[in-house]
Amino acid sequence: RQLNPALATTATSFPTTHDKVAKVEDTPMFVDNEFRPSSTSQFIDLHDPATNNLVTRVPQMTAEEMTAAVDAAQRAFPGWRATSVMARQQIMFKFVALIRENWDRLAASITLEQGKTFPDAKGDVHRGLQVAEAACGAPELLKGELLEVARDMETRTYREPLGVVAAICPFNFPAMIPLWCIPIATITGNTLVLKPSERDPGAAMILAELVREAGFPAGVVNVIHGAHKTVDFILDEPRIRAVSFVGGNKAGEYIFSRGSANGKRVQANLGAKNHAAVLPDANKNHFLNSVVGAAFGAAGQRCMALSTLVMVGETKEWLPELASLAAGLQVNGGFEPGADLGPVISPHSKARIEDLIASAEKEGAKILLDGRGFKPEKYPDGNWVGPTIITDVTPDMRCYREEIFGPVLVCLNVATLDEAVELINRNEYGNGTAIFTRSGPTAETFRRNIEAGQVGVNVPIPVPLPMFSFTGNKASVAGGGANTFYGRPGINFYTQLKTVTALWQSADAISQKADVSMPTMH
Ligand code: NAD
């Protein structure tokens, strides 16, 4: 029985319009490689953000059902950890190939449930796919170390899996964030319980289907659903050894504290307010195109969106050109050809964004481009906010202090590079930043002095590829960012070291009497 509209499709047939879903099906859970309906009576309605038509209902799963998912993961663990890393790698190769085959289908599910445009949704899948591809090379990173520490004695390390681990995902990258977790958690020998966002779990459900098809044994990857109750279950379930979280600060700080207090490893990426500093010597066209793309793409709902522009010196004179470029963007249903940005995720989110724009007006800023009240003709019922540019902003204003997470660019003016650096460093967040300049020394000064974890030099969204790691800092991570996602640190997060010291007995190494002093091994 097909239980989910996303699953009722195949690699070559999937929704390509915002038309009403003919028959609304509930999203199932995925446990032991089976899709199962939940017996709950509590459901979260999921609406297409372009129309607010009902797409599916997402269950708030019962405690018994969630426990069954952890049971499955726990049962699968001994066999999976004993599966050779080469065999795990073969399954990962297959998984990568299947994601490629189902790329459009995954993207279509994202456009339908999350709202971003189809080409942008393909990028969402792509950035996750790259992590799965990099995970195929993980055996290299799993190698231990060995040293002959003394005569006939060697010490060696093994990277061992933790056991059952969990992932809690946000709504804004329905494929990429699950794919930050599934490949790295499993190639290292762990079994996983993943909770997608209750607002758009469709892509995660397709990934679950591909997990099964790729040959992952039953129970290695499980998908459970729900909101806070499911999160609390994960945080309090003693058999879950580690939690990966990506989302906002309120949830993330709570999850980090409660998960850590319960003795789990936690990696947690949180919110952001990413600044771009533009210098008068920048290539103007490159700057304008970069900022417009990075501020308004995905309707500003990216954790690395460039939402704050710091205009140094006379660059403020470029604002009219910036506004006319932004005004030219097409806001439309994500399946419509030529759409540049889609709707925001929910009516609540639209109201919050509009409220922040209104607050800027009240606090004395200028609305240079106002996206409030915009509606594309074909989709009058969606959650629309057009590109909005707020100028003459000062750091005390709400629109500067809060993460807006919508297609809104706030602009501040400073006189010098030093002032720009000081302003950016005063901001509590430290996810990403970018500088636009043609001067190497200017870029280098900025790089050295700036307190953000991911820096772009003439690159608007410097999200590191998976041979590196995602390295936000300050309030954009919980726990000081000790455990970053993917790359070598991602492998380290999902593994623990075992260190073995062995004495290989040669005649003169055998102890003749008990030595009660602290062994120093030399
Ligand atoms: P969110 O925090 O509302 O939700 C994330 C997850 O936490 C969801 O699965 C949700 O069910 C759960 N959750 C939400 N509130 C909770 C609570 N009070 N208690 C327990 N669980 C809770 O985030 P979102 O709106 O889905 O995503 C947008 C946010 O994610 C933005 O702040 C964005 O910057 C951030 N984000 C950060 C990164 C990064 O890598 N730094 C990447 C993507 C998104």
User: How do residues 332-342 score in pLDDT, each as one tens digit?
Assistant: 999 999 999 99
Question: What ipTM was reported for this prediction?
Answer: 0.99
Mutate to test the pocket of ligand 1, among 270, 307, 404 (most ligand atoms within 8 A of CB): 270
Q: What is the mean pLDDT of residues 65-75?
A: 98
Instruction: State the pLDDT at residue 379.
Output: 98
- The single-letter code of the amino acid at 337 is P
**pLDDT, mean over the chain:** 96
413 lines ligand 1 (CB under 6 A): no
Nearest residue (by CA) to ligand 1, atom 26, is 170
The residue with tokens 């990075």 is: 294
Select from 176, 169, 167 the least CA-distant residue to 120.
176
Instruction: State the pLDDT at residue 5.
Output: 59
Instruction: State the pLDDT at residue 504.
Output: 82
469 lines ligand 1 (CB under 6 A): no
Instruction: Give 1's pLDDT tier (boundaries 50, 70, 90).
Output: very low
Question: Quick count: other Cβ atoms within 10 Å of Cβ 174?
Answer: 32
Q: Which residue would you say has higher pLDDT here, 14 or 90?
A: 90
Instruction: State the pLDDT at residue 365.
Output: 98
Going across the sheet that includes 306-312, the strands are: 366-369, 388-391, 408-414, 306-312, 274-278, 432-436, 454-457
Instruction: Give 464's pLDDT tier (boundaries 50, 70, 90).
Output: very high
* Angle between helical axes of 118-135 and 103-113 (0-180°, round to 10): 130
- Separation of alpha carbons 435 and 420, rounded Å: 10
Question: Quick count: other Cβ atoms within 10 Å of Cβ 381?
Answer: 14
pLDDT tens figures, 199-245: 999 999 999 999 999 999 999 999 999 999 999 999 999 999 999 99
Specify the ligand 1 atom closest to the Cα of 247. Answer: 30
Ligand 1 centre and the CA of 395: distance in Å?
A: 24
Instruction: Give 508's pLDDT tier (boundaries 50, 70, 90).
Output: low
Q: Which of 209-218, 275-284, 508-517 has the lowest mean pLDDT?
A: 508-517
Question: Quick count: other Cβ atoms within 10 Å of Cβ 101?
Answer: 15
pLDDT tens figures, 92-118: 999 999 999 999 999 999 999 999 999
Instruction: Give 348's pLDDT tier (boundaries 50, 70, 90).
Output: very high
258 lines ligand 1 (CB under 6 A): no
Instruction: State the pLDDT at residue 505.
Output: 76
4 pLDDT above the threshold of 70 = no
Strand partners for 312? 414
Instruction: Give 15's pLDDT tier (boundaries 50, 70, 90).
Output: confident
pLDDT above 70: percentage of residues in the chain: 97
Specify the ligand 1 atom closest to the Cα of 250. Answer: 18
Q: How far is CA 414 from the centre of its chain?
A: 32
Task: Name the residues annotated as catalytic.
Answer: 303
Select from 227, 179, 256 the least CA-distant residue to 478.
256
348 lines ligand 1 (CB under 6 A): no
495 pLDDT above the threshold of 60 = yes
